[in-house]
Amino acid sequence: MNRRCTSGSCMVKAAGRPASLDLSLSQVLVDPMNDWRHLTAGRVRIARDIKVDWSQFNQDKFIFSHCTIVSSVNVEENGYYIDPVCSPLINNNGNAWSNPVLLATFRTFVGGENYLEHVQIPELSKGKILDALVRPIKYKNVKLGKEANVYYCDILVATERRHGKLCSRIASGELTTMSMGCLANWVQCSRCGLVLGDDDENCEHIDRQMLQAFTDENGIERVVAELCGRVSKDVNGSWIGDPESVRFIEASWVERPAFEGAVLNHFLSEMPKAAAEILSFPTYKLEQTMEELFRMRVADTRGMMVLRVAIEEMNRRKREDMSSRVLKTFWG
Ligand SMILES: [Zn+2]
């Protein structure tokens, strides 16, 4: 059942890729209510229904940040070939979200948790995602000299001031990067179009060719990615996203590694302190999020590493538990 747990192979390959929206820069809002209203007031923005309870979320208790957290990609007529213009928008774990899927699912950000380093234990949440919106963007690929229509998703995050050290780092601009986490109930291969549910076997592309280039039947070079979510055709023959196929559940403050390669090479020693906490969690706590961890997608490679460490730790404990039980049977 751990099919959805992205394996280590893609992380190794990811080391050579330029970062895109892998780590999103945030911006502290000085006058949150007005700043956010201003940010959401433009004609071209799609979601305008602001339902933030500003009396509960006030500046005495929270620090507010705005962050462009995820971008979609333009897909071709068949629904899964990613427009080469959008290749840099595939994240470093090989995940991407098509325009229809992002449009159908971005609202699930609202009410999500604000964590540190993707440590997704509700008691360790540092705040809330208050609002989300998408705006159409003409993404320009400078290398190809071409443009594509995509969407950027912006979120409004409230971090509780009682986490004093964290908030002072945010306020001073020392901590500026956020990364999102989502659950994908369905994914689709961007090379062969295979749609996979939780228990389905990967196609060879998702298994072994993530982030590698391939040439399609028309001689166009594209990148193999795992499209989160799934689409179907409406009565007019347009692709629409399945709103249940992806759930965005959190946005985490993450350290910006000076050199990502170093992080990948020095697995545990370079792991952020907050993430290392995972190793000290009691088993029941780890267990309660395990089901979800297997379906998790996070935007940055370090976040993915944290999830993998959690899963490894859980497996280790299970093995230990089993061997101690076996010993007990033999030795009483
Ligand atoms: Zn495939």
Averaged over successive runs of 10 residues, the pLDDT of the chain (332 residues) comes to: 31 30 71 80 57 85 90 96 95 92 94 89 90 88 93 91 93 86 93 93 94 96 96 95 94 69 40 63 68 65 68 73 63 52
pTM comes to: 0.76
DSSP string, 136-160: EEEEEETTTTEEEEEEEEEEEEEEE
Task: Name every residue whose Cβ is closer than 8 Å to that of residue 170 and which is 6 or more positions away in sequence.
Answer: 26, 28, 63, 65, 159, 176, 253
pLDDT at 10: 28
Write out the two tokens for 306: 């944290």
pLDDT at 271: 54
Axis crossing angle, helix 283-293 with helix 301-331, rounded to the nearest 10:
130
Write out the two tokens for 83: 């427009």
pLDDT at 261: 39
Write out the two tokens for 234: 């409406």
Sign of torsion over alpha carbons 86, 91, 92, 94: negative
* Residue ranges with CB less than 5 Å from ion ligand 1: 189, 191-192, 194, 203, 205
Ligand 1 center to 191 CA (angstroms): 5
Ligand 1 center to 2 CA (angstroms): 18
Ligand 1 center to 171 CA (angstroms): 44
Write out the two tokens for 19: 């970062």
Ligand 1 center to 186 CA (angstroms): 14
Residue type at position 33: M
